[in-house]
Amino acid sequence: HSRSDRDDYIRVNYENINPKFAYAFNKYGPDTVNSFGVPYDYGSIMHYSAYAFSTGSSKPSITT
């Protein structure tokens, strides 16, 4: 969720995120976050659930 290429794989729905936790979706450049050539992994333990930090149970914070 913070990789520089994350927008190629997921959409962060900022309108559905509790503003208090918006920082958790900051995206960092390749000079800060090195993915080491590893492909994006939707099943990674570091990948937030679809409703992480959401403002409501029917409002996903992340969509693919």
CB 26 within 8 A of CB 2: yes
Could you give the CA distance from residue 62 to residue 17 in angstroms, rounded to a whole number?
A: 9
Residue 1 marked in a binding site? yes
Q: Where are the beta strands (DSSP E) in the chain?
A: 11-12, 62-63
**Binding positions for Zn(2+):** 1
**Binding positions:** 1
